Structures are given as C-alpha cells and as structure tokens.
C-alpha cells in the first residue's frame, strides 16, 4: 500500500496550487500541510516542502526575520524530509547547505527569473553607458549640461562584455548584448566540445583562463552562482586587469566580489562605475561608501523580482512533484 505523501507549503501556495497538486497526484494518497500551522504546532513529518517567495519575505540570508527562522528550524527538525523546492535560483543560504549535508535534495528555480534578471542587467549597462546617474543628479540640481567633450558617451557597439556564468541568465543577456552590437565573452566551468550555433558566436573561456580576457573587457557582468570557485573571484588583482574606465555589473551574489577592493577601484577612478544588486552583507550597511558614489547604482537584491515569477516558480515545483510522484500517480490526472 502506498504511503501518504505529506507536502508542506504556505497557505497561500495551497490556495493557489492545491487543485493542480490534486490533479497531479491522481490516486496516490497525499496531504497538504499548511506551513503556518506546522510551525505553530511543531509538526515535523513532511516528506516534501515548497518554500515560495512569500515564505522568505523581506529576509536576507544575512538577516533572517524571526518568522522565517522558525520555518528553517522546522525544516531542520523534519527528519523524514526528502526534498525541498525553493523559489530562488541559488541555494547558498545556510539552511539549504545544512539540508543538503544530511541528504535532502534542494531543488532551485533556476531559470524562472532569467529573462527578468537579464533585462535588469541590460538596463544597468544602458543606464551607466548613457550616464543616467550623472544626468539624474543634474536634473535634481536643475542643471542643463550637454553631453559634449569628455562627457560624450562611448558607442556600445564594438565594446566587449565578459559574462561570468553561462546559465539561463548569462545566455539571455548575451543574446541581448549581441543584438546591440557588442562582443560577448562567456566564462564557464568547461567548454562545450560541440557548441550550438548561438554559442559559436560567443568567445568561451574557462575560469582557469578568465584573467586573460579581462584587459579587453569593457563590461564585467557577474551572473554566476556562489561556489567555492567563485567566492571573491573578482578581487583586487582581477579588478586591476580591467582597462581604465571599465564597468562592473553584479546580479549574482555579493560574495563573488571583494567589496573593499571594489570600493578602492571605484574611488581611485580605475573603474568607471558599477551596477550592484547584491552585496557582501544584505541589507547593504548604511555606512557603506557605495551608497554615495555618483558612478554607482545600488538596488536591493531586486533584479529577479517580477509579478510573473510566482507562476513560473509554482510550475517548476509542480513539474518536480510530477516527476517525483511517478507515472502511477498520474493515471487519473495531470496538472
């Protein structure tokens, strides 16, 4: 006899996805457990958990709100937990590392917000290339200063963007930048022996050789996961190899960058500017020098936020549940 599958998810997700879960599970017995009720009653018998966006809320991985901390403790106490689906593309929060260490599969929503993040990274490049921060400051000061002489922006066509990380975000951004006439270099773990037509138009290097492309890089774009290899990948040495006036775009993780080295490169004028959505500590401390730099754009880890993500993440969870439940559960329905 098939045992009942206990699925832990927020009440909001139950209300939104409950019917789809029912159709997907078919004749296989299951129970939807409200995360809010489970926390209140310390129920720890879930087999599967879905951590959606509203569960994480405004917490960061550095500053976890009490309500989310209770959810994390519940997951740690759920000894029968087999897998967890999370709304984020990365699984570098400590709770997910702890779960993986004990054998729990942590499935991410990588790709769900790829188009959104790529679009935001593109917006950052366009804004810095056209000196929007400077123009915005001058607007506030009611100053009319034509973009002539040294203020003249460079043409983007012909410039080189090196994208670190060639996953869904990097690939989408690469195609957007190529449409603008830019040269694209991709830094990835390993090279494809048989690249497809799109990849054949992109110069590919591995992390072992990535320093070689930095002297020709006008825009260094970080779109990689945080791993042992990428932690503080962009350090003082890497920054020094960039040409004078190069720009940094970070929509990856703050820890990929040596932040003090970045601040120094910006203050010295070696870097022309930066668009930063992620930081070593989040929220970015109020005393950080990055806040007041006129050539820096700071956003609150919001590059992936968009009102369509909820549906895409929910569908990814359903797809994973369908795969895990197996064909026998699908005899009488599908989501």
Q: Which residues are catalytic?
A: 253, 301
CATH number of 114-298: 3.40.50.720
The whole-number pLDDT of residue 256 equals 98
**In the chain, where the domains are located:** 5-112+308-330, 114-298
Residue reference for tokens 């329905």: 333
Which pLDDT belongs to residue 325?
86
Predicted confidence at residue 201, as pLDDT, reads 87
Tell me if domain 5-112+308-330 and domain 114-298 are identical in fold. Answer: yes
DSSP 3-state of 245: coil
CA neighbor of 187 nearest in space, from 152, 155, 212? 212
Which pLDDT score, from 0 to 100, does residue 14 have? Answer: 98
CATH class of 5-112+308-330: alpha beta
pLDDT of residue 192: 80
Query: Contact at 8 Å (CB) between 24 and 335?
Result: yes
Q: Which residues of the chain have pLDDT under 70?
A: 1-2, 193-199, 327-335
């Amino acid at each position: 006899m098939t045992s009942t599958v206990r699925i832990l998810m927020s009440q909001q997700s139950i209300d939104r996805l409950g019917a789809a879960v029912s159709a997907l599970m078919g004749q296989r017995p299951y129970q939807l457990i409200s995360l809010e009720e489970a926390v209140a009653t310390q129920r720890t018998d879930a087999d599967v958990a879905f951590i959606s966006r509203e569960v994480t809320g405004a917490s960061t991985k550095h500053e976890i709100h009490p309500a989310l901390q209770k959810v994390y403790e519940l997951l740690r106490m759920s000894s029968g937990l087999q897998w967890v689906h999370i709304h984020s593309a990365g699984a570098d929060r400590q709770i997910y590392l702890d779960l993986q260490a004990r054998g729990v599969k942590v499935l991410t929503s990588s790709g769900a917000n790829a188009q959104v993040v790529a679009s935001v990274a593109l917006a950052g490049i366009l804004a810095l290339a056209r000196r929007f921060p400077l123009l915005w400051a001058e607007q506030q000061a009611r100053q009319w200063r034509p973009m002539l002489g040294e203020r003249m922006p460079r043409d983007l066509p012909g410039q080189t963007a090196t994208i670190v990380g060639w996953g869904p975000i990097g690939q989408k951004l690469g195609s957007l930048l190529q449409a603008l006439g830019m040269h694209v270099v991709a830094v990835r773990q390993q090279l494809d022996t048989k690249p497809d037509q799109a990849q054949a138009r992109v110069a590919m290097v591995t992390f072992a050789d990535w320093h070689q492309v930095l002297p020709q890089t006008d825009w260094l774009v970080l779109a990689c996961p945080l791993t042992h290899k990428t932690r503080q990948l962009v350090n003082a040495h890497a920054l020094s190899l960039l040409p004078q006036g190069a720009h940094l775009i970070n929509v990856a993780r703050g820890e990929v960058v040596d932040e003090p080295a970045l601040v120094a490169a910006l203050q010295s004028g070696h870097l022309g500017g930066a668009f930063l959505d992620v930081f070593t500590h989040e929220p970015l401390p109020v005393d950080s020098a990055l806040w007041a730099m006129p050539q820096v754009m700071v956003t609150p880890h919001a590059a992936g936020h968009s009102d369509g993500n909820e549906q895409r993440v929910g569908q990814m969870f359903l797809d994973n549940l369908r795969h895990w439940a197996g064909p026998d559960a699908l005899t009488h329905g599908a989501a």
